[in-house]
C-alpha cells in the first residue's frame, strides 16, 4: 500500500452525561481522527487516549506529539504490504500504544477497503452479530445507579459493568443483586483502586457471584493479582496490566487472572489484539473488548475485533447514543436486537464519516503529504 497523505483531525465532544471512575470524572472527550489517503480509498482510525494521564500515561496531547514527530514519518517512509507490518515498523518506539493503534487502525481500514472486504473479515471474524454490554460510572446515589441498571437491562444489554472503589463497592453491588437478582450478568471494575491490604474487603464480594472483578490492583501489576486470584472465587479480569501478548502470557502462566479485557488502543493495535486473542484461545481464557468512550470510528473497530471467535463475553461497545448526542459516523451504532449489534458487512469499518458533526466539534487539522 502506498500512502498519499495522512490527515489528523482533533475534535472535542461533550458526553451525554458525566462518566465517573475511581480516577476521575469526564464531562467531554477530545480525541484524534486519523485519515489515510491512498488512491481512491481512505482509511479511518481513532485515538482512544483520555485527556489526562489517569488511565494510562498517554493523553490526546502525547498521541498527537508521537504521531507528528515519530509515527507518521515512519509510516510514510515506505510502502507496506499488510497492516501486520505496521507494528513491526513501529517496534523501535517504546510503548505509546494508543498512538500506534490510532494509526494502525486506519491502515487496517484502508487495507480492507482495498481488498473489497469488511474489517471483520480481514481480521478473521466469524460472527454476524455480537453481544454487547454497558459500563456504568459511579453515581451520586444508589437509587440513580439502580435506575440506570433497570434501564439498560430493559434495553437487553448482556452485561452490566459497574465502576467501584473503596467506599463505593459492597453497598451498590449488593443493592443491585437484591433488586434484580443473581441471574443478571453483573461485574465490577475497580480501575486499580485497591491493594492487597484490601484483600478481606474484596473477598466479601465473592457471595455476590459477580462475573468478574476487573483490575482490582495496581495498573502495572500481575504479581499481586496472582496472590489475590488464589484467594478469590470470583474471576479476576486484567485490563490496564496487559499491554502485549507477552504480558498476557505471563499473567496466564502466573494465574493472575481468569479473563482478559482486550482494548485495541491499550495493546497497540489490531494486530497485537489478534495475537492476545489467539493466545487466550489456546489457553482457554475468555476475552472481551473493553471501551474507552470511543467515537464512532473506534466503536466500529471494536465491533470488528469482537467478531473473532474467543470474544465470548459481551464487551463494552454500547450504542452511540449511550455516550453521544450525535456521533461522528453514519449510520450511528445501534442495537440490532436487544443486547446485540450487527457486524457490518460493507467494506472496511462499514460506516461513513458524518463530516457535519466532525466540523461542529473540530479544533485543529494537520495534513502530512507523502
Closest CA to 25 of 51, 59, 56, 60: 51
Mean pLDDT on 149-161: 94
Tell me the catalytic residues. Answer: 163, 263
Q: Which long-range contacts (CB under 8 A, 24 or more apart) does 146-149 make?
A: 146/175, 146/176, 146/179, 149/176, 149/179, 149/180
Which are the contacts of 294, defined by CB distance < 8 A and separation ≥ 6? 31, 46, 48, 301, 302, 317
pLDDT tens figures, 51-70: 999 999 999 999 999 999 99
Check the CA dihedral 76-77-83-88 and report its sign: negative
Instruction: Measure the CA–CA gap between 91 and 36, rounded to whole angstroms.
Output: 20
Count of residues making up the chain: 370
- Assign 279 to helix, strand or coil: helix
Give the pLDDT band of residue 16 (cuts 50, 70, 90). very high
Mean pLDDT on 240-268: 98
Give the pLDDT band of residue 370 (cuts 50, 70, 90). confident
Mean pLDDT on 179-205: 97
Give the pLDDT band of residue 266 (cuts 50, 70, 90). very high
Instruction: Measure the CA–CA gap between 28 and 295, rounded to whole angstroms.
Output: 12
Amino acid at each position: 500500500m502506498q500512502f498519499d497523505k495522512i490527515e489528523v483531525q482533533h475534535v472535542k465532544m461533550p458526553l451525554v452525561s458525566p462518566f465517573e471512575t475511581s480516577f476521575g470524572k469526564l464531562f467531554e472527550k477530545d480525541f484524534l481522527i486519523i485519515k489515510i489517503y491512498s488512491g481512491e480509498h481512505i482509511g479511518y482510525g481513532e485515538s482512544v487516549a483520555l485527556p489526562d494521564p489517569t488511565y494510562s500515561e498517554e493523553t490526546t496531547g502525547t498521541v498527537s506529539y508521537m504521531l507528528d514527530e515519530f509515527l507518521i514519518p515512519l509510516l510514510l517512509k515506505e510502502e507496506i504490504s499488510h497492516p501486520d507490518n505496521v507494528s513491526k515498523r513501529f517496534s523501535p518506539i517504546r510503548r505509546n500504544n494508543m498512538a500506534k493503534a490510532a494509526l494502525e487502525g486506519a491502515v487496517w481500514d484502508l487495507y480492507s477497503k482495498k481488498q473489497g472486504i469488511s474489517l471483520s473479515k480481514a481480521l478473521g471474524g466469524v460472527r454476524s452479530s455480537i453481544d454487547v454490554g454497558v459500563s456504568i460510572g459511579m453515581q451520586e446515589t444508589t437509587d440513580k445507579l439502580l435506575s440506570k441498571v433497570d434501564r439498560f437491562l430493559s434495553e437487553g444489554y448482556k452485561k452490566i459493568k459497574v465502576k467501584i472503589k473503596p467506599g463505593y463497592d459492597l453497598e451498590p453491588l449488593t443493592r443491585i443483586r437484591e433488586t434484580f437478582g443473581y441471574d443478571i450478568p453483573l461485574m465490577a471494575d475497580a480501575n486499580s483502586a485497591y491493594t492487597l491490604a484490601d484483600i478481606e474487603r474484596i473477598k466479601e464480594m465473592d457471595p455476590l457471584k459477580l462475573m468478574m472483578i476487573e483490575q482490582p490492583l495496581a495498573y502495572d501489576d500481575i504479581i499481586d493479582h496472582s496472590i489475590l486470584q488464589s484467594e478469590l472465587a470470583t474471576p479476576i479480569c486484567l485490563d490496564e496490566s496487559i499491554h502485549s501478548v507477552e504480558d498476557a502470557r505471563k499473567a496466564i502462566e502466573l494465574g493472575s487472572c481468569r479473563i482478559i479485557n482486550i482494548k485495541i488502543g491499550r495493546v497497540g493495535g489490531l494486530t497485537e489484539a489478534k495475537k492476545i486473542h489467539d493466545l487466550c484461545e489456546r489457553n482457554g481464557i475468555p476475552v472481551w473488548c473493553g471501551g474507552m468512550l470511543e467515537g464512532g470510528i473506534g466503536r466500529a473497530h471494536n465491533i470488528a475485533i469482537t467478531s473473532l471467535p474467543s470474544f465470548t463475553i459481551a464487551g463494552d461497545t454500547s450504542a452511540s447514543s449511550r455516550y453521544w448526542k450525535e456521533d461522528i459516523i453514519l449510520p450511528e451504532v445501534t442495537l440490532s436486537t436487544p443486547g446485540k449489534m450487527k457486524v457490518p458487512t460493507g467494506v472496511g469499518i462499514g460506516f461513513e464519516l458524518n463530516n457535519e458533526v466532525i466540523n461542529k466539534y473540530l479544533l485543529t487539522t494537520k495534513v502530512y503529504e507523502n
